[in-house]
Structure 1
Amino acid sequence: MVRYTFGGDEHLFVEVAEEMSLDAFFKSLSMTRILAGKRIEGVTEICPANASFQVRFDPDVIAPDAILETVRAIEAEAEGAEPVIDTRLIEVPVFYRDPWTHETLMRFRERHQDPSGTDLEYAARINGYDSVDDFIGAHSGSPWFVSMVGFVAGLPFMYQMVERERQLQVPKYLRPRTDTPKHTVGYGGCFSCIYSVRGAGGYQMFGITPMPIFDPQEKAAHLSDFMVFFRPGDIVKFRSVDREEYDRIVAEVEENRFRPLMREVRFDLRAFNTDIAGYNAGLEAVIHGV
């Protein structure tokens, strides 16, 4: 059941579901698209999230009760929307067990649930994997759906595209760190993420990507049209790389020769839910041009 809450005088918060799911994301997406298409006078901003969205409005132009009534009507309208989007399938190289996140996580062990091990060792154990390699295989073996971009500029929240009982889950640190390397691949709750900038953070740290995802100067070739790379609806496939390949990609980035591997795809939620394993195998074939 959708829940509506006012935030101060200018915001309406719409919670489509309490827990993240692709069904909740698509309902939220449909509602925000319909709302944006109506171009309602007084609505100044629509901010989508994982399974919710927030509407900012000018109460001197449109009354709070009026915007609430309008969005509630859109909820019914969105029920019939087709859960299909044209999007991008993107391969993201990841150097798991890299020295930079390892050095950082060892500096903050007193803030962690298991001070005696590493973040990957902890994540593997609580998810029932026999080894870190097996856990990395699970993390990189399935695609991820970008359900939100934000918190800090350019940071993607990614939801694992497997059956719910197979989803990895790892809690955040007991207390946040004051440092996280740029491009860290992290994990918190049911979401993987990539830290777009260096800074504080509480997600478990699994590795690092050499691929730039945020460039305010728009100098990187794949970020020349917009400083933020990821968009909600993107599908990500992680690929484990070693130090040699990591260094090679870093050199390509520095020489402005790097281009991420991407394919244009149409994602159909109903087809995905009908055969998750088969659908993911199809995405794997597409990214490798099979």
Structure 2
Amino acid sequence: MKTRYTYGGDEHIYVEIDDEMSLDAFFIALSLSNMVREANIPGVTEILPANASFEVRFDPDVIAPDSMMEKIKAFEHQAEAQEKRLDTRIIEIPVYYEDPWTHETLMRFRERHQDPTGSDLDYAARINGYETVADFIEAHHSQPWFVSMVGFVSGLPFLYQLVERDKQLEVPKYLRPRTDTPKLTVGYGGCFSCIYSVRGAGGYQMFGITPMPIYDPEQKISYLKDFMVFFKPGDIVKWKPIDRAEYDRITEAVEDGTYTPRIAEVEFDLDAFNDDMTGFNAKLMEALNDA
């Protein structure tokens, strides 16, 4: 793993821990960005974390770019030695798989897809070696996911599956992006799942939709009154399959202000996870069940 530092014009430095996502790279990036933040370097105006990287924005009238680069590089070896533990939370996110809204949308854009003859789930199941869509859906929701980044679109989480690398689901994006994606679509591109926080263009495969809003700039939703964005990096997600009746019930509860997401406080320990992924995941999900 070799860290790469690059300038972004006169006001940004981009720090890439690895050119592919891994939890090890994520934790080093998290530690390093936290060290930069805690150092209170004069001139730093913003720190933007990503999957296995981060970007620092600074005022070049306060600190020269080469001086900013030197200060960031000085933290690298300390970051690699940091404990890879994180106090976080595991959240149950309801998903209505094979819903009518994403299905209507994906059928409108079949000419932009690798396989125009079926659905996104048909395609994803086949290329990942599953005999049925139901088997693929089970693989998608049966293990927890790690929120490695929030952004690109306001409030949109990127989720990385907490399984062995050779068991991770992988699905390419559409050949050409769609001009429409329903709000709260559960999508998939590469090794990342996501939730589209708003309606708009997109290229990820569409598997279902959640009735649980994750972004509210007006902060009217009961559980988003303190902050308009629900997710933060380090959150853990457990998808929960639901049917249309449950979807409608949750939608109504959100609208009348009575819906509360199911959440449990947990500690994520990367070394313990790597030693026994199955056992560690079971403990995470047990904590959620007890919440």
Output the CA distance in 1 between the equivalents of 2:14 and 2:89: 28
2:150 is the alignment partner of 1:149: yes
- What SS class does the counterpart of residue 138 from structure 1 fall into? helix
2:55 is the alignment partner of 1:54: yes
Shift of 1:67: 1.0
Match of 1:138 in 2: 139
**Number of residue equivalences:** 290
Counterpart residue type for residue 248 of structure 2? D
- What SS class does the counterpart of residue 101 from structure 2 fall into? helix
Q: How does 1:127-276 map to 2 (within 5 A)?
A: 127-276=128-277
Shift of 1:169: 0.2
Shift of 1:181: 0.2
Counterpart residue type for residue 101 of structure 1? T
Which runs of 5 or more structure 1 residues have no equivalent in the other structure? none
Shift of 1:59: 1.3
Shift of 1:60: 1.4
Match of 2:43 in 1: 42
Shift of 1:182: 0.2
If the length of structure 1 is used for normalisation, what is the TM-score? 0.99
Output the CA distance in 2 between the equivalents of 1:44 and 1:250: 39
Counterpart residue type for residue 162 of structure 1? V
Output the CA distance in 1 between the equivalents of 2:57 and 2:246: 45
Shift of 1:57: 1.1
1:169-199 Cα deviation digits (max 9, x unpaired): 0000000000000000000000000000000
Output the CA distance in 1 between the equivalents of 2:45 and 2:63: 11
- What SS class does the counterpart of residue 227 from structure 1 fall into? coil
2:82 is the alignment partner of 1:113: no
Which runs of 5 or more structure 2 residues have no equivalent in the other structure? none
Shift of 1:80: 1.6
Shift of 1:254: 1.1
Output the CA distance in 1 between the equivalents of 2:94 and 2:241: 6
If the length of structure 2 is used for normalisation, what is the TM-score? 0.99
Output the CA distance in 2 between the equivalents of 1:193 and 1:94: 12
Output the CA distance in 1 between the equivalents of 2:144 and 2:93: 11
1:104-159 Cα deviation digits (max 9, x unpaired): 00000000000000000000000000000000000000100000000010000000
Match of 2:99 in 1: 98
Counterpart residue type for residue 179 of structure 2? T
Q: Cα RMSD over matched residues?
A: 0.7
- What SS class does the counterpart of residue 287 from structure 2 fall into? helix
Output the CA distance in 2 between the equivalents of 1:70 and 1:85: 25
Shift of 1:162: 0.2
Shift of 1:253: 0.7
- What SS class does the counterpart of residue 75 from structure 2 fall into? helix
Counterpart residue type for residue 41 of structure 1? P
Output the CA distance in 2 between the equivalents of 1:222 and 1:3: 39
Shift of 1:65: 1.2
- What SS class does the counterpart of residue 200 from structure 1 fall into? coil
Output the CA distance in 1 between the equivalents of 2:63 and 2:173: 40
Output the CA distance in 1 between the equivalents of 2:265 and 2:285: 13
Counterpart residue type for residue 92 of structure 1? I
Counterpart residue type for residue 243 of structure 1? R
- What SS class does the counterpart of residue 130 from structure 1 fall into? coil
Counterpart residue type for residue 285 of structure 2? E
Shift of 1:74: 0.7
Output the CA distance in 1 between the equivalents of 2:57 and 2:25: 21
